[in-house]
Amino acid sequence: MSVNVICIKWGNKYGPHYVNRLRSMVRRHLARPHRFVCFTEDAEGIEADIEIHPLPEVRLPDGLPERGWGKLGTFHQGLAGLDGPTLFLDLDVVVVDALDPFFKHPGEFLIIRDYKPFRAPSERYVGNSSVYRFEAGAWPGIIAHFQENFAQIRENFRNEQEYLSHYVHTRGKLTHWPETWCRSFKKDCMWKGPLGLFRVPRIPEGARIIVFHGHPHPDEAIEGRSGSWKRALRPTPWVAEHWR
């Protein structure tokens, strides 16, 4: 059975090489037949063999800070003719092991459990949407509800992944990936405190995808730039080995 892997590139935060490298990693790590689709308003520099479609429509007021709301467009019914199991990947993830298990794990909607450590018990279902899987076209109510209730949603939820998690959770369909599969570079790979001055970040046992949220980005990790004076980071060659 063929499956789908999709990503979104909007604005200029990430260059086309992020799309190209993501495609290359998926090609190496996903054995089953699949479509790889990038939604973007600017395909310049993206390799010709990558399937390109326009950004899915998400109506938002002008001038809003970027909070990932555009990802909700992936739930439009009939989007790009997608059908079947669909895995969304952020552009700045690094794939380090096989992706096929992401399509075998049971669940109707799967997402990373958020890395934020201090959530109230009632909010520990909240996911990180760097990696999520759903059945294409099966969740049109998400985008419809969002468009009709955006003002209230914005008051109650800081970003798209909080809203998305709440919507699916309240319908009893939210499942988290196994904890070891999607690890945070910042939280799980970097060494804490002075150890970061001497030790190269490691790949945690069982990891399949390394998620880069905030800084450093993959290119910064390769060079040893953490993005903060509070976090020491050695240059990390294994990121370059996988992110290609």
Q: Are 93 and 211 in contact (CB under 8 A)?
A: yes
For the residues 213-233, what does the mean pLDDT come to?
Answer: 94
For the residues 70-92, what does the mean pLDDT come to?
Answer: 97
Please state the domain extents for the chain: 3-176, 182-242
The encoded tokens of residue 20 equal 């190209």
pLDDT grade for 66, boundaries at 50, 70 and 90: low
Q: What is the pLDDT of residue 118?
A: 72
Assess whether pLDDT exceeds 70 at residue 65.
Answer: no
Q: Residue 101: what residue type? A: P
Q: How far apart are CA 147 and CA 158, in angstroms?
A: 16
Decide: residue 159, CB within 10 A, 0-12 exposed, 13-18 middle, 19+ buried.
middle
Q: Are 10 and 40 in contact (CB under 8 A)?
A: yes
The predicted-structure confidence for 147-163, as pLDDT tens digits, reads as follows 999 999 999 999 999 99
Q: Residue 165: what residue type? A: S
**Regarding predicted confidence, which is higher, 122 or 81?**
81
Instruction: Note the pTM of the prediction, 2 decimals.
Output: 0.96
Q: What is the pLDDT of residue 167?
A: 98
For the residues 15-38, what does the mean pLDDT come to?
Answer: 98
Q: Are 32 and 103 in contact (CB under 8 A)?
A: yes
Q: Closest Cα to residue 45, out of 11, 18, 7? A: 18
CB atoms within 10 A of CB 92: 22
Q: What is the pLDDT of residue 1?
A: 85
Q: CB under 8 Å to 150, separation ≥6 — which residues? A: 59, 60
For the residues 197-207, what does the mean pLDDT come to?
Answer: 97
Residue with tokens 């079947």: 84
CB atoms within 10 A of CB 237: 10
The predicted-structure confidence for 92-146, as pLDDT tens digits, reads as follows 999 999 999 999 999 999 999 999 877 888 889 999 999 999 999 999 999 999 9
Q: Closest Cα to residue 230, out of 192, 204, 188? A: 192
Q: Are 102 and 208 in contact (CB under 8 A)?
A: yes
pLDDT grade for 191, boundaries at 50, 70 and 90: very high
Topology of domain 3-176 in CATH is Spore Coat Polysaccharide Biosynthesis Protein SpsA; Chain A (3.90.550)
Pairing type for strands 51-53 and 174-176 reads unpaired
Assess whether pLDDT exceeds 80 at residue 228.
Answer: yes
